[in-house]
A and B are shown apart, each in its own frame.
Chain A
Amino acid sequence: MTALLSVRGLASGYGSVPVLDGLSFELDPGERIGVLGPNGGGKTTLFKALLGILPLLAGQIDSAGRFGYVPQTERSRLDYPVSALDVALMGALSRIAWWQPPGRTERRNAQTALTRVGLGDQSDEQFGELSGGQRQRVLVARALVQDGPVLLLDEPFTGVDQPSAELLDRLLDGLAAEGRGVLIATHDLEQARRWDRVLCLNRRQIAFGPPEQVLTRAVLEETYGGEIVTLPSGSGEQVGILPPHHH
């Protein structure tokens, strides 16, 4: 099977000093990879390096096509005059000339993407007036309109209500079933255990592999340092991490 994304020896950062160094992993079709790491550990840096927003200081990235990208929703503006459909349509910008308005095909794609994230009836609503979970789903719809074989989602479950989280979870499963590759930055260990592989980062690659092999106490301690806690569970001791601090 040819990998959708192959990364070898990646180093990237702001300026010439790498924030993230020594990353090597691949993403196969139909695979969901959880990217785990503390705040400042390099999850967003990895995504921005893959997208070409940050420079590649070393290594090589081979990808099968363009990426669909879902940035962290807490950075979006709420007083801005855009509808959900306007935001979804932004995913089509790279396929049309800068002066061209989106055509019927682009509008239909955007509407389909909104329907897929459960917001088909709310496409005309103002983005800022939607709930946090709904806004996150609109950003996922925009990534679907980008229509890349690989999707990068930066903490899509942070600050999202339960119905939106369940819908997103099902959507990720559906995208993988279609043969797309999905990279998901997350703080939720339980969720990461259900995905196909896990990439643990803390300014460098700590581990990469199937969750049952990778998510050991030793790896998590190295990834999260002091933020790690032990949770009692039915089948014995289980390791978890403290909720992330957002500044």
Chain B
Amino acid sequence: MAHALADPWTQGFVQRAFLELALLGIVGSALGCWVLFYELSYGAESLAHSLFPGLVLAALAGIPLVLGAAGGVLVAAAAIAVFGRTPEIGRDTAIAVVITTLFGLGVLLALAPASPPGLNELLFGDLLGVSGTDLAIAAGLSVIVLTSLVLLHRQLLAVGFDRANAVTFGARPVLVDLALLGLLAAAIVIGVQGLGNLLVLAVLVGPAATARVVASRLLPMMCLAAVIAITCGAGGLYLSYYAETAGGASVAGITLAVYLGVRLGAAAQASVARRFLANSRKRARSSSPGPSGGSLA
């Protein structure tokens, strides 16, 4: 048993995969809690998809993925702004059309016969193929994202608490929104190598959502989310190693299974607590003497 547990860790590619997941877990948890409180989960998913052609073009041109992601975000934001202003299209439709179009364009480029093989990794990730350079880039981006979150902490707190009046108190909603957009794009770049564009959101939102079920304060919530993300990452690696399943999909699957388990557990616990409370009230009523007196002694 001990041998089976230790065996995968003797492999360099498993160690690198785990480090990549740990970095993404820590960054994703800190950022993911804000994504939840800003109700940006769907927005983050859309962002991941819309910057996909940027990633593919960067990979094709051999430039850093982070530059491609930045270009992708700018193009998507500009397209949504332009089409969203057209009254007969509307913002909601504009977002759906722009994101699907961009994502489709990215897939077309990535899977074109003329494109070099391996670009489809950007879609599904290649967790066990993470290189030392990938790790170094992910570590650099992680430091940037975490430092930004620390510096922006009070602003994030104030804008999320009361967006309508935030300006009155000296908070800057535009700065906060743009910063969150940029940090999300950076986190997606950190995760895309390991989990791919389609699955990276699992680690951005899943652990934070799980932690929110049990923790109500921000710092404990972020720390718990990071522990959950790293544990699920290790679990996914074992699954992938022994069941020979796809690495990224295994991690994403376990992360979401843990969320569902904790959510159901909390619901069951709440139901038991309600029943206990109702029973103890009933007992209290039956043991106290009624208005006509209840004692025969």
Residue in A closest to B219 when the chains form the complex, CB atoms: A81
Among A117-174, those with CB < 8 Å from B are 126, 128, 142, 146
Query: Beyond A95-B170, A142-B169, is A90–B151 a contact (Cβ under 8 Å)?
Result: no
Bound form: Cα–Cα A100–B151 in Å:
7
Query: Beyond A51-B168, A90-B171, A98-B172, is A80–B158 a contact (Cβ under 8 Å)?
Result: no
Bound form: Cα–Cα A82–B162 in Å:
12
Number of interface residues of B (CB under 8 A): 24
Per-residue A-contact encoding for B151-182, CB less than 8 Å = 1, 0 else: 11111011011101101111110010000000
Among B265-280, those with CB < 8 Å from A are none
Chain B residues with Cβ below 8 Å from A102 are 154
Among A87-133, those with CB < 8 Å from B are 87, 89-91, 93-95, 98-102, 126, 128
Is A218 at the interface (CB under 8 A from chain B)? no
Chain B residues with Cβ below 8 Å from A71 are 162, 164-165
Is A216 at the interface (CB under 8 A from chain B)? no
> Which residue among A71, A98, A146 has the maximum number of chain B CB atoms within 10 Å of its CB?
A98
Bound form: Cα–Cα A71–B217 in Å:
24
Query: Beyond A95-B170, A99-B151, is A53–B165 a contact (Cβ under 8 Å)?
Result: yes
Is B135 at the interface (CB under 8 A from chain A)? no
Q: Write the nearest CB–CB distance from A188 to chain B, whole angstroms.
A: 23
Is B216 at the interface (CB under 8 A from chain A)? yes
User: Do residues B157 and A82 form an inter-chain contact, with CB atoms below 8 A?
Assistant: yes
Residue in A closest to B148 when the chains form the complex, CB atoms: A99
Residue in B closest to A99 when the chains form the complex, CB atoms: B151
User: Do residues A101 and B37 form an inter-chain contact, with CB atoms below 8 A?
Assistant: no
Is B218 at the interface (CB under 8 A from chain A)? yes
User: Do residues A90 and B160 form an inter-chain contact, with CB atoms below 8 A?
Assistant: no
Query: Beyond A89-B154, A146-B169, is A98–B216 a contact (Cβ under 8 Å)?
Result: no
Bound form: Cα–Cα A93–B172 in Å:
10
Q: Write the nearest CB–CB distance from B109 to chain A, whole angstroms.
A: 38
User: Do residues A101 and B154 form an inter-chain contact, with CB atoms below 8 A?
Assistant: yes
Bound form: Cα–Cα A98–B175 in Å:
9
User: Do residues A81 and B175 form an inter-chain contact, with CB atoms below 8 A?
Assistant: no
Bound form: Cα–Cα A93–B175 in Å:
14
Number of interface residues of A (CB under 8 A): 30
Is B14 at the interface (CB under 8 A from chain A)? no
Is B141 at the interface (CB under 8 A from chain A)? no
Is A75 at the interface (CB under 8 A from chain B)? yes
User: Do residues B161 and A76 form an inter-chain contact, with CB atoms below 8 A?
Assistant: yes
- Among B37, B152, B216, the residue within 8 A (CB) of A126 is B216
Chain A residues with Cβ below 8 Å from B37 are 80-81
Query: Beyond A95-B170, A98-B172, A142-B169, is A81–B218 a contact (Cβ under 8 Å)?
Result: yes
Residue in A closest to B37 when the chains form the complex, CB atoms: A80
- Among B155, B168, B221, the residue within 8 A (CB) of A98 is B155
Residues of B within 8 A of A (CB): 37, 151-155, 157-158, 160-162, 164-165, 167-172, 175, 216-218, 221
A51-B168, A146-B169 given; 12 more Cβ-contact pairs under 8 Å: A52-B167, A53-B164, A69-B169, A75-B162, A76-B161, A90-B154, A90-B158, A98-B151, A98-B154, A98-B155, A98-B172, A126-B216
A-B contact pairs, 28 of them (CB 8 A): A69-B165, A69-B168, A71-B164, A75-B164, A76-B161, A76-B162, A77-B160, A77-B161, A77-B162, A80-B161, A81-B37, A81-B217, A81-B218, A81-B221, A82-B157, A83-B217, A87-B161, A90-B157, A90-B158, A90-B161, A93-B169, A93-B171, A98-B152, A98-B172, A101-B153, A102-B154, A126-B217, A128-B216
4 closest Cβ pairs, A-B complex:
A94-B170, A93-B170, A81-B218, A99-B151
